[in-house]
């Protein structure tokens, strides 16, 4: 008998945060991800969030030293049932300019 494992059904957002620049600057830059108005502290790398299907907005920025909201960039997208949406954010090489954000999948 051939049994198959049950499929995992997930509706989620994957956010990849990339830092361009020196390691010293990365140590002082703390990213924040705001999804539909709710802010989450993050670390550089990949984070996963479970979301309901529908339209969503994501904003990414980072604190640098004690100053807020550097590199701020946002994007809107829709999410279908059981879909995984992947978004990538990268800060600008010049720390005070907006970063870039794009949908990967």
Task: Output the domain CATH number for residue 36.
Answer: 2.60.40.1120
Query: Looking at the domain assignment, is residue 1 inside a domain?
Result: no
Q: Binning pLDDT at 50, 70 and 90, where does residue 3 land?
A: low
> Residue 5: pLDDT above 50?
no
More confident: 49 or 65: 49
Position with higher pLDDT, 95 vs 30: 30
- The per-residue pLDDT for 4 is 54
Domain that holds residue 35: 12-103
Residue 7: inside a domain, yes or no? no
Is residue 3 one of the residues assigned to a domain? no
pLDDT in tens, 8-17: 567 999 999 9
Q: Which of 24, 21, 14 is nearest to 71 (CA)?
A: 21
The answer to whether the CB of 83 falls within 8 A of the CB of 11 is: yes
pTM as predicted: 0.83
């Amino acid at each position: 008998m051939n049994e198959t494992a049950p499929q995992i059904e997930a509706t989620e957002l994957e956010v990849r945060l990339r830092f361009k620049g020196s390691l010293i600057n990365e140590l002082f830059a703390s990213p924040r991800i705001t999804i539909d108005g709710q802010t989450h502290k993050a670390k550089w790398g990949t984070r996963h969030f479970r979301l309901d299907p529908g339209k969503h907005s994501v904003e990414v920025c980072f604190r640098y030293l004690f100053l807020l909201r550097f590199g701020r960039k946002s994007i809107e997208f829709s999410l279908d049932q059981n879909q995984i949406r992947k978004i990538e954010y990268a800060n600008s090489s010049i720390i005070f300019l907006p970063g870039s954000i794009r949908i990967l999948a």
